Amino acid sequence: MFSKSCEYGIRASIYVAKNSLKNRKVSLKEVAEHTDAPPAFMAKILQKLTRTEVLSSSKGPNGGFFVPVGHLDEVSFLSIVLAMDGNGIFEDCTLGLRKCDEQKPCPMHFKFVKIRDEMREMLESTTLKSLAENVSDGIVFLKR
């Protein structure tokens, strides 16, 4: 459903948020290690998430990646997906057709519109803080 970079971006965002709840910044190396991601690939992902203001970063000996605690409730799961994959998941044809809309639908169009709407609602209503708290509580995991 999501691209590989989006999957890594989601896991990275949750890991960074989990540590931000503890007022702790994390390094690229640490994020890559805890999300089973290649460091060079993770560097590009973290750069994109920082550029789109999902995450923040600071340089220097006490630097690293973080999410300001007040921002954790504002960042939705949707904002991570949009930062990484764009809006295509909500607009592109399920079958990959160039032209697919209500006037000229593909065989899956009307069935998939409902699923997309429900998915968008779920992604919008899920905050980064709630995802991070679940990991902190040991309810869910970021590694296979």
Along the 144 residues of the chain, how does pLDDT read in single tens digits? 789 999 999 999 999 999 999 999 999 999 999 998 999 999 999 999 999 999 999 998 889 999 998 899 999 999 999 999 999 888 888 888 988 888 999 999 998 889 999 999 999 999 999 999 887 656 556 665
Region for residue 108 given its phi and psi (left: phi exceeds 0; alpha: psi -120 to 50; beta: otherwise): alpha
H/E element, 86: none
DSSP letter at 71 equals: G
Q: Which pLDDT score, from 0 to 100, does residue 91 have?
A: 87
Region for residue 77 given its phi and psi (left: phi exceeds 0; alpha: psi -120 to 50; beta: otherwise): alpha
Domain 4-136 class in CATH: mainly alpha
